[in-house]
């Protein structure tokens, strides 16, 4: 994404946020307040819009990105681990909510480690055992010693 | 003040406190020595473990992590030639060549002892300057605080990154996202977009975990594709020749003190941080050295300057954070969050209202500095083995720790989503050369800036008071000066890059 395109996106975003400030509700006790809740955010949005405009005008790169199938494939190959991690993390967050911290963490650790470096045989056993011990250790430490309750899962 | 310091030492020397400080130092050293893990990330990762502790225990642990982390980077700098963290870059210039020349123990010893002396010099100023600055801060009104924040943001935007515009955009973006939630003065929900959970706002620490830990992990994952070729020292002899090391330091006492003072000053001034202090201290030590030509060849003065500088900077960083509640960079912003979580309210009133905790923390800094030396000297053989923990094992574990850290703050799954959201923002900004420190400072300082601006204008509608009140006027002038400085350095760079007339004419003749 070029600087100029980022400038444009931020400019549009500033407009949307400015428009949103009209929907802030004034509490009854502050009806005659000159500086309402929108006063400061509007100042920030105006500043953001000004600098986004400068980036749009003075920034580098083209406004329209050129997408080619080859470049998309190359991008996926280059960022494979990043993209897969970005997909796995929300799944992990959902799993914590559903099946609890312990089980979701064990599975997440195993999947992530195997994705980053596939291992079979003894290596796989180490990965599974290491993930289980690490997860169990965290739960024991937090719940047993630090008195912090971790999610047990809404399904259980 | 001496009574308070004595009280602080009594707190810091309690057996339980010593144990927590030592654990923090050990964690900090380990995190510091692993390339790719920064001190900011270390403080973020250890913080959740302190939630269940008493405030004094939690704070001394965090102080241990910070001080240990500042020193831990020297191990990978000396043995791998890769800085464990950005603030140990200059240690590689001489530490790695010295280790390669067959003196790894001397290189590690010099770094470890210089860290101690740099830390002690820094502590002296931390203990004396913080109460003085807090006294000055007590005289500040809302005008001064608003102007100080404006100065902090402009200087960090102009110094921290390559582009002033991008720095200011990052700062304003951080401020804008910080306004989400309930208005601190009128209790009106703002920018909640219909989400009930957002009404409480985004928790500062969750935002930090996302911005720094999550986005850093994404960058690490990218590097897994093209791992750096590491020319490491195989089976290094980690025996430290203590007498020789202390002689080296004695012979270079002026350079070390000068480097420590440079680091301290960089720490006190907002924006620059450990990485700049490290390189600048190295550069300054080179200038005052009798043998500047030896720097970069495995010369002991280079290691001493670098490590003394990057340890005293932590003390300098703490001065404005504790005295005024204004952090100078990302890691102090996290430390500020840690102080807030444990019930300490940094600012001018801290030293007078909670002297036991405040001075206990200052004294814990010194204790942690000494413990860093003891732990590093005692465990060096084991520590050098930890340098090479594989990233494919490390990264998933840190993802889990980040999610855990976000969750346990408020016991809400929603915070893990907030972490993810800000992680994406942080990664996107980093990929497009926007610096994260202005974003973090903008996010952290927005409520203080808003409250003080409104208070100032409610007290008097005359906006010229921001310029006519002396301290406020100075901060505004400094803010303008920092922007002008940016343009001036840019102009000078452009002038230097332009071809000289003589060169140009030579080009034409050929």
User: What ipTM is given for this predicted complex?
Assistant: 0.90
- β-partners of residue B391 are none
Least-confidence region, from A12-16, A33-37, B447-451, B454-458: A33-37
Alpha helices in chain A (DSSP H): 3-20, 39-58, 69-78, 80-99, 101-116, 122-139
**Measured distance CA(B329)–CA(B153) in Å, rounded:** 10
Q: How far is A124 from chain B (nearest CA, A)?
A: 12
Least-confidence region, from A69-73, B9-13, B184-188, B347-351: A69-73
pLDDT mean over A13-17: 94
Q: pLDDT per residue over B168-181, tens digit each?
A: 899 899 999 999 98
Q: Which residues of chain B have a CB within 8 Å of the CB of A3?
A: 166, 432
Q: Is the pLDDT of residue B509 over 70?
A: no
CB-based contact A146 B49, cutoff 8 Å: yes
pLDDT at position B505 is: 44
Going by C-alpha positions, the residue among B117, B118, B33 that lies closest to residue B77 is B33
Q: What is the 3-state secondary structure (H, E, C) of B451-469?
A: HHHHHHHHHCCCCCHHHHC
**Measured distance CA(A56)–CA(A5) in Å, rounded:** 7
**Is residue A60 classed as helix, strand or coil in its secondary structure?**
coil
Give the up-direction half-sphere exposure of residue B174: CA atoms within 13 A in the CB hemisphere.
31
Please tell me which residue, B86 or A92, carries the higher pLDDT value: A92
pLDDT at position B5 is: 83
pLDDT at position B273 is: 64
**Is the distance from CB of B324 to CB of B297 less than 8 angstroms?**
no
**Is residue B181 classed as helix, strand or coil in its secondary structure?**
strand
**Is residue B189 classed as helix, strand or coil in its secondary structure?**
strand
- β-partners of residue B190 are B181
**Measured distance CA(B155)–CA(A129) in Å, rounded:** 49
What does each C-alpha distance from B97 to B59, B79, B165, B232, B377 come to in angstroms? 38, 9, 39, 11, 21
- What is the percent of chain A with per-residue pLDDT over 90, rounded to a whole number? 47
Q: How far is B194 from chain A (nearest CA, A)?
A: 12
Going by C-alpha positions, the residue among B123, B9, B122, B125 that lies closest to residue B56 is B9
Helix or strand run (H / E) with residue B182: strand B181-182
**Which of B193, B396, B412, B414 is the best residue to mutate to test the A interface, defined by the most A CB atoms within 10 Å of its own CB?**
B396
**Is the distance from CB of B43 to CB of B386 less than 8 angstroms?**
no
Q: How far is B220 from chain A (nearest CA, A)?
A: 9
Buried b (16+ CB within 10 A) or exposed e, B125-146: bbbebbbebbeebeebebbbbb
Residues sharing a CB contact under 8 Å with residue B468, sequence separation 6 or more, in sequence order:
none
User: Across chain A, what does the average pLDDT equal?
Assistant: 87
Q: Is the pLDDT of residue B124 over 60?
A: yes
CB-based contact A30 B49, cutoff 8 Å: no
Out of B48-52, B106-110, B483-487, give the one with best mean pLDDT. B106-110
Q: What is the 3-state secondary structure (H, E, C) of B201-255?
A: CCCHHHHHHHHHHHHHHHHHHHHHHCCCCCCCCCCCCCCCCHHHHHHHHHHCHHH
pLDDT at position B499 is: 62
pLDDT at position A67 is: 65
**Is the distance from CB of B430 to CB of B219 less than 8 angstroms?**
yes
**Measured distance CA(B105)–CA(B74) in Å, rounded:** 12
Residues sharing a CB contact under 8 Å with residue A126, sequence separation 6 or more, in sequence order:
A119
Q: Which residues of chain B have a CB within 8 Å of the CB of A90?
A: 417, 420
Residues sharing a CB contact under 8 Å with residue B230, sequence separation 6 or more, in sequence order:
B80, B81, B82
> How buried is residue B183: exposed, middle or buried, by Cβ count under 10 Å (0-12/13-18/19+)?
buried
- β-partners of residue B181 are B190
- pLDDT range class, residue B231, cuts 50, 70, 90: low
Least-confidence region, from A109-113, B13-17, B274-278: B274-278
pLDDT at position B510 is: 36
Going by C-alpha positions, the residue among B362, B364, B272 that lies closest to residue B313 is B272
CB-based contact B188 A27, cutoff 8 Å: yes
A49 has a chain B CB within 8 A of its CB: no
A51 has a chain B CB within 8 A of its CB: yes
DSSP state of B499: P
Q: How far is A65 from chain B (nearest CA, A)?
A: 15
Residues sharing a CB contact under 8 Å with residue B481, sequence separation 6 or more, in sequence order:
none
CB-based contact B424 A44, cutoff 8 Å: no
Buried b (16+ CB within 10 A) or exposed e, B205-226: bbbbbbbbbbbbbbebbbebee
pLDDT at position B504 is: 45
pLDDT at position A26 is: 78
**Which of A81, A104, A111, A135 is the best residue to mutate to test the B interface, defined by the most B CB atoms within 10 Å of its own CB?**
A81
By CA distance, what is A154's nearest residue in B? B413
**Is the distance from CB of B312 to CB of B278 less than 8 angstroms?**
no
Q: How far is A71 from chain B (nearest CA, A)?
A: 17
What does each C-alpha distance from A131 to A124, B337, B386, B397 come to in angstroms? 11, 30, 19, 9
- β-partners of residue B189 are B182
- pLDDT range class, residue B322, cuts 50, 70, 90: confident
- Residue A150 CB: number of other CB atoms within 10 A? 17
pLDDT mean over B86-107: 83
User: Across chain B, what does the average pLDDT equal?
Assistant: 83
pLDDT at position B421 is: 93
> How buried is residue B412: exposed, middle or buried, by Cβ count under 10 Å (0-12/13-18/19+)?
middle
**Which of A27, A51, A119 is the best residue to mutate to test the B interface, defined by the most B CB atoms within 10 Å of its own CB?**
A51
Q: Is the pLDDT of residue B402 over 60?
A: yes
**Is residue B137 classed as helix, strand or coil in its secondary structure?**
helix
Q: Is the pLDDT of residue A136 over 90?
A: yes
Q: Is the pLDDT of residue B440 over 80?
A: yes
Q: How far is B324 from chain A (nearest CA, A)?
A: 22
**Is the distance from CB of A53 to CB of A7 less than 8 angstroms?**
yes
Q: pLDDT per residue over A66-109, tens digit each?
A: 666 667 777 788 888 889 999 999 999 999 999 999 999 999 99
Q: Which residues of chain B have a CB within 8 Å of the CB of A89?
A: 399, 403, 420, 423
CA pseudo-torsion sign B19, B304, B66, B419: negative
- Residue A103 CB: number of other CB atoms within 10 A? 17
- What is the percent of chain A with per-residue pLDDT over 70, rounded to a whole number? 96
Residues sharing a CB contact under 8 Å with residue B174, sequence separation 6 or more, in sequence order:
B438, B439, B440, B441, B442, B443, B444, B446
Q: How far is B358 from chain A (nearest CA, A)?
A: 24
Q: Is the pLDDT of residue B311 over 80?
A: yes
pLDDT mean over B374-390: 81
- What is the percent of chain B with per-residue pLDDT over 70, rounded to a whole number? 92
**Measured distance CA(B83)–CA(B34) in Å, rounded:** 9
| CB proximity under 8 Å: A 59-118 to B | 78-82, 85-86, 89-90, 92-93, 96-97, 101, 105, 108-109, 112-113, 116-117
CB-based contact A37 B186, cutoff 8 Å: yes
pLDDT at position B160 is: 62
**Measured distance CA(A13)–CA(B93) in Å, rounded:** 45
Among B169, B420, B432, beta carbon nearest to A48: B169
> How buried is residue B429: exposed, middle or buried, by Cβ count under 10 Å (0-12/13-18/19+)?
buried
Q: Which residues of chain B have a CB within 8 Å of the CB of A41?
A: 176, 179, 190-191
CB-based contact A96 B186, cutoff 8 Å: no
pLDDT at position A49 is: 95
pLDDT at position A13 is: 94
CB-based contact B407 A151, cutoff 8 Å: yes
CB-based contact B404 A142, cutoff 8 Å: yes
DSSP state of B190: E
**Measured distance CA(B373)–CA(B379) in Å, rounded:** 10
pLDDT mean over B489-503: 68
**Is the distance from CB of B33 to CB of B383 less than 8 angstroms?**
yes
A50 has a chain B CB within 8 A of its CB: no
By CA distance, what is B178's nearest residue in A? A41
Q: Is the pLDDT of residue A135 over 50?
A: yes
pLDDT at position B334 is: 82
CB-based contact A37 B454, cutoff 8 Å: no
pLDDT mean over B290-313: 86
- β-partners of residue B182 are B189
In total, the C-beta contacts within 8 angstroms joining chain A to chain B are: 154
């Amino acid at each position: 994404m070029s600087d100029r395109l980022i400038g444009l996106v931020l400019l549009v975003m500033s407009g949307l946020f400015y428009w949103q400030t009209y929907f802030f509700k004034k509490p009854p006790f502050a009806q005659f307040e000159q500086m309402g809740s929108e006063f400061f955010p509007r100042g920030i949005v105006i500043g953001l819009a000004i600098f986004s405009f400068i980036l749009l005008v003075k920034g580098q790169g083209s406004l329209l990105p050129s997408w080619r199938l080859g470049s998309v494939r190359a991008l996926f190959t280059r960022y494979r681990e990043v993209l897969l991690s970005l997909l796995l993390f929300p799944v992990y967050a959902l799993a914590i909510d559903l099946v609890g911290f312990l089980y979701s963490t064990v599975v997440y650790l195993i999947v992530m480690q195997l994705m980053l470096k596939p291992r079979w045989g003894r290596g796989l056993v180490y990965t599974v055992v290491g993930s289980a011990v690490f997860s169990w250790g965290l739960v024991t430490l937090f719940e047993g010693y630090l008195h912090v309750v971790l999610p047990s899962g809404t399904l259980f | 003040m001496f009574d308070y310091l004595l009280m602080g030492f009594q707190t810091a020397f309690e057996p339980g406190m010593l144990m927590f400080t030592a654990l923090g130092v050990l964690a900090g050293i380990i995190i510091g020595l692993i390339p790719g893990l920064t001190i900011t990330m270390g403080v973020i990762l250890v913080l959740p473990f302190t939630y269940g502790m008493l405030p004094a225990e939690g704070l001394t642990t965090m102080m241990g992590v910070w001080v240990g982390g500042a020193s831990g980077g020297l191990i990978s700098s000396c043995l791998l030639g890769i800085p464990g963290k950005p603030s140990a870059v200059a240690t590689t210039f001489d530490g790695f060549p010295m280790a390669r020349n067959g003196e790894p123990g001397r290189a590690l010893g010099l770094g470890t002892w210089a860290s101690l002396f740099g830390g002690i010099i820094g502590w002296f100023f931390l203990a004396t300057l913080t109460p003085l600055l807090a006294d000055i801060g007590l005289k500040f009104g809302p005008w001064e605080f608003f102007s100080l924040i404006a100065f902090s943001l402009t200087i960090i935007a102009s110094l921290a990154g390559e582009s002033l515009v991008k720095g200011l955009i990052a700062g304003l973006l951080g401020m804008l996202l910080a306004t989400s939630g309930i208005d601190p003065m009128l209790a009106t929900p703002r920018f909640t977009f219909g989400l009930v959970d957002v009404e409480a706002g985004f928790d500062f620490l969750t935002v930090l975990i996302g911005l720094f830990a999550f986005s850093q992990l994404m960058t690490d994952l990218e590097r897994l594709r093209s791992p750096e070729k590491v020319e490491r020292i195989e089976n290094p002899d980690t025996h430290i020749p203590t007498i020789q090391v202390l002689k080296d330091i004695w012979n270079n006492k002026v350079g070390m003190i000068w480097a420590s003072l440079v680091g301290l000053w960089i720490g006190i001034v907002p924006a620059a941080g450990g990485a700049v202090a490290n390189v600048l201290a190295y550069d300054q030590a080179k200038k005052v050295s009798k043998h500047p030509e030896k720097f970069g060849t495995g010369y002991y003065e280079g290691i001493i300057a670098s490590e003394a500088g990057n340890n005293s900077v932590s003390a300098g960083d703490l001065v404005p954070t504790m005295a005024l509640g204004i952090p100078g960079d990302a890691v102090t912003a996290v430390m500020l969050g840690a102080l807030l979580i444990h019930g300490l309210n940094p600012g001018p009133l801290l030293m007078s209202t909670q002297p036991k905790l405040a001075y206990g923390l200052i004294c814990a800094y010194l204790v942690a500095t000494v413990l860093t030396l003891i732990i590093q000297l005692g465990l060096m053989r084991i520590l050098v083995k930890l340098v090479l923990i594989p990233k494919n094992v490390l990264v998933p574990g840190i993802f889990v720790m980040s999610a855990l850290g976000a969750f346990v703050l408020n016991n809400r799954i929603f915070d893990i989503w907030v972490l993810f959201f800000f992680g994406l923002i942080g990664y996107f900004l980093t990929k497009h050369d926007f610096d994260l420190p202005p974003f973090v400072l903008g996010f952290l300082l927005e409520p203080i800036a808003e409250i003080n601006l409104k208070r100032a204008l409610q007290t008097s509608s005359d906006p010229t008071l921001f310029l006519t009140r002396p301290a406020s006027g100075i901060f505004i002038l400094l803010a303008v000066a920092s922007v002008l400085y940016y343009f001036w350095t840019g102009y000078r760079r452009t002038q230097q890059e332009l071809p000289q007339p003589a060169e140009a004419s030579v080009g034409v003749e050929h």
